[in-house]
Amino acid sequence: MQTEIIAHRGASKYAPENTMHAFTKALEMQADAIETDVHLTKDNIPVLMHDERINRTSNGRGYIRDFTYEQLLQFDVGSWFAPKFADAKIITLDEFLSWIKQTNMRAHIELKNNKVDYDAIETIVYQHIKNHSMQERSTVSSFNFESIQRFQQMTESITLAYLTSNITKTKRQAFEKHPTNALHIKQTLLRKRLIRCSKQKNIPLRVFTINKISQMMRCYDLRIKGIFTDVPDVAVEARCNWMTRKD
């Protein structure tokens, strides 16, 4: 088994995160998958951005949920990163799925509903995945465990993952009661006990965010299922070196 390389918000070290520029870069760099973050606009259109507000990654201000999709199109989501990306516009989940479907990459769709609990985001996202027949190539994740459980009740046809930066008693209990197909953890949680436990229970781990070669090599040695990285080119090269070394 080789560790899956997942471009975190696209190849986000090289182009503005969650834009087509970052996604096409990830494809060029031969990532196995792309991770992206989903919010709902005022008119319930799923769009891709990391933060709940557009302030950091656009030339506008305010919450995504307070703008219609049409209104969001007036903002430039690229020049905060570099002037040459000034043409970048916020993209919809629909546009992303139409594009990725034509590649051989997997889609890691993170519901960003741990701060704003968007009403019916699970049904809306599921419908989009189905419309593009991307059920087999998509994984849906969230820091909001209840949302993942709602998704679980709705369908068994999509792989689901809890996302977490810490392991609390409540989270452990939630996981035991409603296990998901995978667990996506912050790299500081990558300890022997958790690795052993995940192997015993046959629950793959994916780890975020891995940008250093030494961390990548450790994940490859541990046969971790996947790593989220801002630098897929570095991860692909490191994986080639790791494989050569292993032979």
Is residue 52 near Mg ion by the rule CB under 5 A?
no
**Smallest gap, in angstroms, from Cβ of residue 6 to Mg ion?**
10
The two tokens of residue 24 are 């096409």
DSSP-derived pairing of the beta strands 46-48 and 33-40? antiparallel
**From the list ligand G3P, Mg ion, none, which binds 208 (C-beta under 5 to 8 Å, kind-based)?**
ligand G3P
Q: Which is nearer to ligand G3P, 65 or 71 (CB)?
A: 65
Count of residues of this chain found to bind ligand G3P when the rule CB under 6 A is applied:
10
Cα separation, 36 vs 45, in Å, equals: 15
**Smallest gap, in angstroms, from Cβ of residue 187 to ligand G3P?**
11
The DSSP output letter for 92 is B
Which whole-number Å values give the CA distances from 89 to 196, 209, 247, in the listed order? 43, 25, 45
Is 50 one of the catalytic residues?
yes
Q: Which amino acid is at 64?
A: I
46 contacts 124 by C-beta, under 8 angstroms: yes
Is residue 208 near ligand G3P by the rule CB under 6 A?
yes
Q: Which is nearer to ligand G3P, 100 or 163 (CB)?
A: 163
Binding site for ligand G3P (CB under 6 A): 8, 35, 37, 50, 110, 141, 163, 184, 208, 228
Q: Which residues are catalytic?
A: 8, 50
